[in-house]
A and B are shown apart, each in its own frame.
Chain A
């Protein structure tokens, strides 16, 4: 059995757990605990270690989705989770400009870990306060070839679209590598 891994990362409360939960064929295995920091009391619990979802492709192939913990104090986990990843998705809460700087930091950190393709998912695009994806491209200083995709993390079709676009990017990178 072969297993491939994709990492879903982003700032605290960007929607990573919901993203994985929308598409995983198993209940998302997440190690959560009550939040202690006042600044992080947006939700009752938060991801401490990681979220873990699975999509079975066949008897011989399975895709694992790993969500990273959002808070800085768990940064040490990022490097571990990024090892051997096929690609990664950076989730951004489009309605929270206060998290954009952190999103940029997360993105740059993961970019430095591995030369794997990635896409940015501009989450919560169904909400009125959402900033436009192209505005986020400028703010996050994304290179033109990096895709930024509108996303609603609790909508399965939207999540599928993000993962498919990431896979298309991976194919493009393979083409480039073969041509070189």
Chain B
């Protein structure tokens, strides 16, 4: 089924969060103000991204941008290695001792991240996720955990209104998520975020955590929003009362059952009402 819409209604952060949690594989294409960007994912991990038209020998440009190749070197490579895939080009540069494998991995990773972080600033744009569509085998793909990407992208979200809307109530508590793949050690946290993490406990409200760490409402919202989107923590809802009796009232025009009368009905009566409803609807 299609996964498409507008960033105006469903933000980059929400999309990445969905792709991460649903462990999706495929390519997300976003178009915004005449620009186009693509991000590819394998089982919920970001593996590749580029913006604009993909040029041949993309790697040479990436290495130049990362300061690993001079402009002249990049130009010569682009001319001489025409028709060579990024993977082949990478092998060639390593074998000739121009560059190390680590240089390539770091540069490609940074390029992917820079591309994705730009997308966080796009307030609107049409998006479409094509399941199972992946870059051709000649591309260099590097798996990157989306939790960290979402955290950093969220840090760059400057819009107070968005944070305000997403987290209107500071008098709620947080707890660490039970998701087994959420591990603090895999996520890069700032000093401030670590301080907040140390106070995460269902007994502490977000407002109390902010006070304890001398953080403004905006700062605490930004930090908590990032942690929520990364799936590190979740909101603790106020304790719900015990299940109420199925409210059984009287037909209009006759005496109405009061809440007290409804509560006084035995579980057997309530169950009988529900079972009768099930039988009736099954028979419709």
Contact = CB atoms under 8 A, between A and B. Distances in A.
A binds B: yes
Interface of A: 1-5, 23, 55-58, 61-63, 84-86, 96-101, 111, 114-117, 128-132, 134-135, 138-139, 141, 156, 160, 163-164, 167-168, 170-171, 173-174, 176-178, 180
B281 A164 contact: yes
Interface residues of B, number: 44
Contacts of A100: 9-10
Given A138-B22, A167-B281, A84 B249 contact: yes
Contacts of A141: 234
A171 B274 contact: yes
Contact of B281 (A55, A58, A96, A101): A55
A178 B244 contact: no
Q: Report which residue of B243, B262, B284 has the largest number of chain A beta carbons within 10 angstroms of its beta carbon.
A: B243
Interface stretch (B69-77, B110-118, B134-142, B265-273): B265-273
B9 A101 contact: yes
Contacts, number: 126
Contact of B284 (A116, A160, A171, A173): A160
B278 A156 contact: no
Nearest to A161: B281
B169 to A, nearest CB: 10
Contact of A86 (B3, B247, B259): B247
B232 to A, nearest CB: 14
Nearest to B275: A171
A128 B1 contact: yes
14 contacts: A4-B277, A55-B281, A56-B280, A99-B9, A115-B243, A128-B2, A131-B2, A132-B1, A138-B17, A167-B277, A171-B274, A176-B243, A177-B243, A180-B242
B186 interface: no
Given A115-B244, A164-B282, A61 B273 contact: yes
Contact of B22 (A61, A98, A134): A134
A5 B242 contact: no
B18 A139 contact: yes
Interface of B: 1-6, 8-10, 14, 17-18, 21-22, 234, 237, 240-244, 246-252, 254, 259, 262, 267, 270-271, 273-278, 280-282, 284
7 tightest Cβ-Cβ pairs between the two chains A and B: A98-B9, A97-B5, A84-B247, A1-B251, A97-B10, A173-B243, A57-B280
B284 A23 contact: yes
Contacts of A98: 5-6, 8-10
B277 A1 contact: no
Contacts of B251: 1-3, 62
A85 B274 contact: no
A99 B8 CA distance: 11
Given A115-B244, A173-B243, A178-B267, A2 B249 contact: yes
Nearest to B11: A101
Contacts of B282: 160, 164
